[in-house]
């Protein structure tokens, strides 16, 4: 017998069986690269899996699933490693790591992209933008396409082109019994419905095929800043301004202390600010016309909303959310930015202590709300705004206070929470919150689907949907 973790042993031949023909790498606790490969984006997560199977292809994924199942190992699945609560790594688990599956094939004629599971957002955008095309994704380039898409996928062009899942045409999935199946709107349509929001509950997706949309390469985009003390007026103006805005416009509000970045004047560094970050997915001149009233409101201290490559805009938040910092987050949807919500948000934001805490409020609606037909398990289509109350610190000493700040704002907003919450913005908050993320009816439908595709709940280290 070989000990692979505390109290966990495997038949000596078992590992050798997995290793035969494995094109990737099996990393155990004694391997020099173990610490590198068990790390995830959120530095507050420090877990020690038993084994990490760094897959090089679909055959490795199939072999890993069969191995995990045969030996009764808890299976964790990792693509970009950006789960806020660190769901892609667990103590004593068998991690199936897809990070090396980096293939992207864009078909500019058909306007589609086939994307393997280890691809990160920036890598996908780089390939699609070469042809002036884009798949809706998220706002930080080092996030994994896989986990983001499986939860829904909200980002800069969703109000015009829909969520990532709204642009999904096909997935390849390795199911819990180690079979490769394809799901589309016509083939395994039940699975295709569940995959579009239901996370990694039904199997391991090895490849996604997206429909692409024309975009840029230049877009009008970037933040306009005011002092945070002006935020009550700015947010009231913003609320009325976006009510008339076209779907080409997507905005995110950020409250934070201004970071010491080269394009921010030194006198603002560390000062509490509010920013309205815009991205206009249509013609630049049209965007200029739409954004003009915002730029002219009150006394902006910095205006960086200008024509720029979409790729540059996509990476603007990267420096704010680096790997390895300690992060905590809570999220809720609200129907509108009422006076009470605005005042509460500003009052709490003025108490942000950490220079790294930057919290986004997402403008929802547009094409997301209008998705026709059965758009999948993603439930937040009726959200007005998504609060993504995120805190970050460098040191564990400040982390607890900043977490308290997050919880304080989230709780204060509780009377205004809508029924839904975005599953990709959940921490480890218990099964009721997972149910909230889908609503009762979809949750039951997902449980029935889980019984069909994963009755033994092999894939349970996720925002879990237990089999019906
Ligand atoms: C800095 C940052 C920015 C973000 N920005 C956005 C944003 O703009 N828009 C947005 O919608 N979300 C955003 N998110 C949330 C993000 O969508 C989720 O954290 C998502 O789960 C990350 O996917 P991943 O592949 O990187 O994560 P991982 O940690 O690798 O996986 C996350 C979950 O998905 C499962 N999973 C991963 N890959 C597969 C697969 N191939 N098959 C089956 N299951 C799989 C894992 O088991 C795990 O449960 C952001 C998160 C971070 C940390």
Atom of ligand 1 nearest to the CA of 42: 53
How much of the chain, in percent, has pLDDT values that exceed 90? 95
Output the ligand 1 site: residues, CB below 6 A. Answer: 41, 77-84, 87-88, 98, 117, 138-140, 143-144, 146-148, 150-151, 153-155, 199-200, 204-205, 321, 424, 462
Residues facing 255 on adjacent strands: 274, 359
pLDDT, tens only, 69-87: 999 999 999 999 999 999 9
* Per-residue pLDDT tens digits for 368-400: 999 876 889 999 999 999 999 999 999 999 999
Asked whether the CA dihedral 125, 127, 131, 133 is positive or negative, the reply is negative
CA of 440 to the centre of ligand 1 (A): 23
3-class SS at 366? coil
**How far away, in angstroms, is 87 Cα from ligand 1 center?**
9
Which pLDDT score, from 0 to 100, does residue 7 have? 67
Three-state secondary structure readout of 69-95:
HHCCCCEEEECCCCCCCCCCCCCCCEE
Backbone φ and ψ of 63, nearest 5°: -60, -40
Q: Residues 317-347: pLDDT tens digits? A: 999 999 999 999 999 999 999 999 999 999 9
Strand positions, DSSP E, 147-284: 168-174, 180-183, 204-211, 213-214, 218-227, 249-257, 272-280
Which residue is listed with tokens 């913003």?
Answer: 238
Determine contact, residues 151/230, Cβ cutoff 8 Å: no
Give tens-digit pLDDT for 246-282. Answer: 999 999 999 999 999 999 999 999 999 999 999 999 9
Q: How far is the CA of 421 from the centre of ligand 1 (A)?
A: 15
User: Which residue lies with its CA nearest to atom 41 of ligand 1?
Assistant: 205
Minimum CA distance residue for ligand 1 atom 47: 77
Report pTM: 0.97
Question: How far apart are the C-alpha atoms of 316 and 320, rounded to whole Å?
Answer: 8
Average pLDDT over residues 188-213: 98
Residue 148 C-alpha to ligand 1 middle, in angstroms?
A: 4
Residue whose C-alpha is closest to residue 180's, from 169, 190, 191: 191
């Amino acid at each position: 017998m070989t000990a692979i973790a505390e109290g966990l042993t495997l038949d000596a031949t078992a590992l050798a069986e997995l290793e035969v023909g494995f094109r990737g790498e099996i990393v155990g606790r004694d391997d020099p690269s173990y610490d590198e490969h068990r790390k995830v984006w959120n530095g507050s997560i420090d877990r020690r899996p038993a084994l990490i199977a760094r897959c090089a292809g679909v055959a490795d994924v199939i072999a890993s699933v069969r191995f995990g199942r045969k030996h009764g190992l808890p299976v964790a699945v990792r693509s970009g490693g950006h789960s806020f609560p660190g769901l892609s790594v667990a103590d004593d688990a068998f991690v199936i790591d897809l990070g090396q599956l980096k293939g992207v094939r864009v078909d500019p004629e058909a306007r589609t992209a086939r994307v393997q599971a280890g691809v990160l957002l920036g890598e996908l955008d780089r390939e699609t933008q070469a042809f002036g095309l884009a798949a809706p994704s998220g706002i930080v380039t080092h996030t994994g396409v896989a986990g983001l898409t499986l939860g829904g996928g909200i980002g800069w062009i969703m109000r015009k082109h829909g969520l990532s899942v709204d642009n999904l045409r096909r997935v390849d999935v390795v199911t819990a019994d180690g079979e490769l199946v394809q799901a589309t709107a016509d083939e395994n349509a039940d699975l295709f419905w569940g995959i579009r929001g239901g996370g990694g509950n039904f199997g391991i997706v090895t490849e996604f095929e997206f429909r692409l949309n024309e975009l840029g390469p230049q877009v009008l985009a970037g933040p306009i800043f005011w002092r945070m003390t002006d935020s009550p007026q700015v947010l009231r103006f913003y609320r009325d301004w976006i009510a008339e805005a076209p779907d080409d416009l997507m905005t995110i509000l950020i409250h934070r202390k201004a970071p010491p970045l080269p394009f921010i004047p030194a006198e603002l560094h560390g000062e509490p600010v509010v920013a309205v970050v815009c991205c206009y997915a249509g013609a630049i001149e049209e965007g200029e016309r739409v954004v003009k009233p915002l730029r002219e409101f009150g006394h902006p201290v910095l205006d960086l909303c200008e024509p720029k490559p979409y790729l540059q805009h996509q990476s603007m938040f990267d420096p704010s959310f680096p790997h390895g910092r300690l992060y905590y987050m809570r999220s809720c949807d609200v129907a509108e930015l009422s006076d009470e919500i605005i005042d509460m948000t500003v009052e709490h934001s003025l108490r942000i202590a950490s220079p790294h805490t930057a919290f986004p409020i997402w403008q929802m609606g547009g094409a997301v709300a209008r998705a026709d037909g059965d758009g999948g398990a993603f439930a937040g289509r009726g959200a007005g705004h998504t609060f993504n109350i995120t805190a970050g610190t460098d040191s564990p000493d400040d982390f607890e206070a900043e977490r308290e700040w997050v919880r304080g704002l989230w709780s204060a907003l509780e009377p205004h929470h809508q029924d839904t919450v975005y599953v990709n913005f959940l921490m480890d908050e218990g099964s009721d919150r997972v149910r909230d993320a889908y609503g009762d009816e979809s949750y039951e439908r997902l449980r029935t689907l889980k019984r069909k595709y994963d009755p033994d709940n092999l894939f349970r280290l996720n925002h879990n949907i237990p089999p019906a």
